[in-house]
Homo-oligomer: A and B are copies of this chain.
């Protein structure tokens, strides 16, 4: 490695003996230049280890081949998981993923789209915050580049959407709980951050009514994304006040259930499906941590893989004009019951 400073493609052109336009071609697609020049360039790269400025590259390219990924809250292992999944698939498809998290903040969500616009992405895979999203501001961006929604739909944007079948998933869980014991009550946040919550509540009520059972919903206080804390605090309260009308509790999501399990343990309530147990607890999402709760959490898993791969496929269809526009605008994937020890 020579210590000469290569600060741009011009410099690298000098030392490598290749013209800058040809270098530009090479960096855009190494296979587009003659093998002998490719070899010369790569030999020079070994010596001087130059690499083009990523943002300058995108500034005036026709096709950038990078794909933005926006998730609502990367600190949530659930999204961390699916984001990694999608990133890998994007790479495999020959594109470059740019992952951004909205940190649960609608302003950050808009900011993320603005930042992505500035690098002229080929397309965007977008999991919106949902009810707190600034729909008016979002609409400004939907016309600028191909965009596919996943995880959470925003109907008003009228975009392709790939997601989890909350109706079916909740229904299968209710069915299981009723078959194996006392019918469940439903526990959710009154003002849920995640819009899927509403569908789950509605589905719970429907399923119960279909089974000629009385639905009972606990909509607890608390806002934000500290779901465990809310499950814990409100769980303590419900248990202490003996307000639970059933020994089986279905939670709107796993994180609430995790908090609740902690409260139940603290109050000395034994959770599980055994005979000595006072309470059955079930979640929704198959959160990465749900395997490690005490007891392990019975829940419904999303079809991660299908959602991730279909989202990308759908976006590529748009990008590469495979005119599958006639396909359904929305596609849902069924959840699977994950039977563990808590219910």
Contacts and interface: CB of A to CB of B under 8 A. Distances in A.
A294 interface: yes
Nearest to A262: B292
Given A115-B54, A118-B55, A292 B232 contact: yes
A100 to B, nearest CB: 9
B292 A54 contact: no
- Number of identical monomers bound together in the oligomeric complex: 2
A232 B228 CA distance: 21
A55 B119 contact: yes
A157 to B, nearest CB: 18
B54 A118 contact: yes
B53 A118 contact: yes
Nearest to A260: B292
Task: For chain A, give the interface size range.
Answer: 35 or more
B51 A55 contact: no
A147 B161 CA distance: 42
B293 A262 contact: yes
A145 interface: no
Interface stretch (A77-85, A148-156, A316-324): A77-85
Contact of A74 (B55, B80, B258): B80
A125 B293 CA distance: 34
A77 B77 contact: yes
A262 B74 contact: no
Contacts of A74: 74-75, 80, 101
Interface in A289-343: 289, 291-296, 341
22 contacts: A55-B55, A55-B59, A56-B59, A56-B118, A74-B74, A74-B75, A74-B80, A75-B77, A75-B80, A75-B84, A77-B77, A228-B292, A232-B292, A258-B289, A258-B292, A259-B292, A261-B292, A262-B296, A265-B295, A266-B296, A266-B341, A289-B289
